[in-house]
Structure 1
Amino acid sequence: MIMDKSTHIFKDDINIEDLGEGISRQILGHDNELMMVKVNFEEGAIGKSHSHPHRQTTYVDSGVFEVSLGSDVRTLKEGDAFYAAPDEVHGVLCLQKGSLIDVFNPSREDFL
């Protein structure tokens, strides 16, 4: 489904996709150029290192995460954020149960 600027999104109406291993996600909104996704992590869950051609910025909505961007590893907590450039290897380890808000440009067609 392609959303437009007049679409309102209510969290209770969004499907929660169980990705396994303590991770789930909800696609909060998207069109062809932009996508926002909430990713929920249980303590100890790992967002495995990966790369993709999309620009990604991520906001730590809650919890504490060890974030790897290339060889740089830092601990981020609620209110912190990071940016992953296209094709940059990145991943997370959840140190305290929480959620991340990912924004991608362009949209992640592989999530749909």
Structure 2
Amino acid sequence: MNVTSRRNARRRHAASPNSAKKRIFRQKGVTKTRIAAVLKHVPWNTVELENLNPLLQRQFVVGSGIMLARVLLKKGCIVPEHSHVNEQLTYILEGALKFWIDGREIVVKAGEVLTIPPNMPHRAEALVDTVDLDVFNPPRADWIDKTDEYLRSN
């Protein structure tokens, strides 16, 4: 095979997104599996707003392997120490939360993101009225089945 033929073969292979993905997975030694996912378009005003306690409300949308939650905390709301098997990303839209994690105090303000690894104990307090978006991977089963008593008892 001459240089031009090899170059054209590479271009044909690269033009196919499926073959490129398969090649990447093969290189990493990962078995590719597909999880059936459903396309959703969800306006927040159509999602149930749960009143967990007088200072805490939330809404969430669940995908096939991820969860997005909109959490509304009134000033002084305490989220007691807890941990979970889920990786968590917290993005503060409005307000500020103070977290206690691994012996540290971390204040996360509007426009900032905090990443919390799986199984890391943490607690938080709303310093002012706060709106945050939390992303969990995998989805929080205790939130879905409403067995998250640590949030409901305040």
After TM superposition, the score normalised by the length of structure 1 is 0.90
* Structure 2 equivalent of residue 17 of structure 1: 50
Q: Please identify which structure carries the higher strand content.
A: 1
SS in 2 for 1:110: helix
How many angstroms does 1:32 deviate by?
3.6
How many angstroms does 1:64 deviate by?
1.4
Do structure 1's residue 82 and structure 2's residue 117 form an aligned pair?
A: no
* Structure 2 equivalent of residue 41 of structure 1: 73
Q: Give structure 2 stretches of 5+ with no counterpart.
A: 1-35, 145-154
* Structure 2 equivalent of residue 67 of structure 1: 99
Q: 1:3–1:61: structure 2 CA closer, same or farther, 3 Å change rule?
A: farther
CA distance in 2 between partners of 1:88 and 1:24 (Å): 23
CA distance in 1 between partners of 2:58 and 2:90 (Å): 14
CA distance in 2 between partners of 1:55 and 1:39 (Å): 17
After TM superposition, the score normalised by the length of structure 2 is 0.67
4+ long deviations beyond 4 Å: none
Q: Is the 8 A contact 1:15 1:26 kept in 2?
A: yes
Q: Give structure 1 stretches of 5+ with no counterpart.
A: none
Q: 1:58–1:75: structure 2 CA closer, same or farther, 3 Å change rule?
A: same
How many angstroms does 1:31 deviate by?
2.3
How many angstroms does 1:110 deviate by?
1.5
What is the percent sequence identity of the aligned residues? 26
CA distance in 2 between partners of 1:90 and 1:21 (Å): 21
Do structure 1's residue 8 and structure 2's residue 41 form an aligned pair?
A: yes
How many angstroms does 1:21 deviate by?
3.7
Q: 1:101–1:23: structure 2 CA closer, same or farther, 3 Å change rule?
A: same
**RMSD over equivalenced CA pairs, Å:** 1.5
Partner AA of 2:40 in structure 1: T
